A and B are shown apart, each in its own frame.
Chain A
Amino acid sequence: MIDREPRGTDTKFDVGSRAGETDTTAAAVAVVSGYLDVQRPDTVFRIVSHLTVGGLSASRWGMLEATASTEPIRTLDNIATEFKRLADKWREDTEGYSSMTIMAAHDNYLAIVKMGWLAVPLILRELRDSGGSWYKALRVITGENPVTPEMAGDISRIDEAWLNWGRALRLI
């Protein structure tokens, strides 16, 4: 859960745990998705323990403090609901296609990519539970690619490579 409390010119982000949602995930996405601008010199982090995602560190348990973000404030609940709506419609419209390129050109897929790191845990859960060609979205958002050329065409191995990547980062 990510809450925001206006405090003068600053914005306080509390990152905590809740049922069905790991604090680790919440913390990671808060930082890497643009809620907090880590490049700004006046951004302050109180790091209790560390999680590295995409080269950035996030607090696992504690509180993140930062000056105001330019990003609109969204709760993870809202994001998950929006993701589900986009993903379901994408699957409905594209499940008969055999080209990942065509599937990834769908408006809803592009909208999910635009959600950035916030979508990554949701994509990984979707991949684990319902399948789908989410690889391009994961590559574009994260800049990572755990899939080796030898895996090309072997969908089970590719899924497992991404899921292992996500597990290593505690995103799922």
Chain B
Amino acid sequence: MPTTLTPHTDIAGMYRPAGQLDIATALAPYKGPWNAKLAAHLLRRAGFGASTDDARRLSEMGLHDAVSSLVDFPSTSNLPAPGDLYDPRSTLMQYLPGAIGGRAAADDMQRRQIQQQVRRGEVQSVVALQRWWLNRMLGTPAPLQEKMALYFHGHFTSAAIQKGVSPQMVYDQNQLFRDNALGNLRELTWQVSIDPAMMIYLDNARSDPKHPNENYARELMELFTLGVDHYTENDVRESARAWTGWIYRPLLGQLQFIPARHDNGSKMFLGRTGNWGGRDIVDIIFEQPACASFFANSLLNFFVYNSPEPQLVQAVAKMISKYDYDLKPVMSTLLRSNVFYSDRAYRALVKSPVEFVIGTYKAFGLTQVDERAQNALRQMGQVLFYPPNVAGWPGGANWLTSQTVIARENFLASMVNSPMMTQVGWMSDVPTQATQAAKSLVNTILFGDASPQATAQLAEYLNGANTSALGMLSAENYPERIRGAAYLTMAMPAYQLN
């Protein structure tokens, strides 16, 4: 069997953790010591980080119940829905002949103005949706549900606005990911396939039976389910035929399946011949052993560590097949496993910008994001609903360039200096004695993940080393020094790592 390809985060295995994998016990339940530090690790991976209170709460539950609280998450239907979303039809209808209150068809100049109006309305709505989602990540009682939605957003990539993907479609797709957070992967893949945002983004909504568009047919196999080397160019062409028949009706805002536009001929796909439609294509793909391996590899890369060993991928693939692609038992096992709590997995991932930003609000006990969050995410290279291309965000070492690291540090500098910091009372919890203050910062922000030397350097900073002003930490300079020290604690290497 061909080897499973690692996603492009790390092609040569450069970022696989050092040391040996114990494959025999890797997926067995972890029975070692359980504490706030490991609870914080769990919350960083299965959620968006932890305040010290969050970590303490989960550590008191014990490992099994802590994971249960994440996978058997409470209903989130009472969380606030996004505000009204702009509907491009509200603009377009005014200009259509025959529409109620409609004016005659526009000339070129007018058409351009209409387009601008639509674009403005859509951008405003998508920006509001981003803010809504970030606040949901920060405040939800079901962090794993949002984490899975983020995972799927990067996996089954569609982008807003391009090609006529409206804000409502963006929201509907986001909600689809949330509703299927720990559901069945086969079912989700089918639902995503007929999701309007996806159908428009990857062109199935305009595929003509005489010239089938191959975009979705290809990406479905390459990026969503199998990976390259597990299908032929002919499979792509045959699958594209099976997906014909769908069309998007902009004025209805709906997808329709028109049987007359569907290619009803016989198709030979992955070795199976029949008059296949889209659902058959998904089902045949999920019969391939490569499909379980592909998701195993992808989940391990997102939740455990990069470049997982082929044996580990195969073990998780076996489990995925055993549970017939149901994610809940798979994720429960992974989040309770030895490999997940091993030294090799600890801080073994690079924080994505979203993890970095939301984790920072969480660390300070803030309950709402402000405008800083979206500005920072743009500069760090992760704009929600605008992935760079159909392969999603490359992740791993790719998150860290000179430019994005500067954006990360400057976001922190701006956060510690914001008035919000005093409002939440976070600073008053930091001791006034420099050595104790440094220890406290390292413990609350990094869960102890700094060397004694670094902690001592932080204390020196608090004491005013390298400054010409009066040395010792005092009531007058306390707030300013604590803000600076909190920033410097977050500048330490551990804070970039998940």
The finding on whether chains A and B are genuine partners in a shared complex, rather than unrelated, reads no
Residues of B within 8 A of A (CB): none
Q: Which residues of A contact B (CB under 8 A)?
A: none
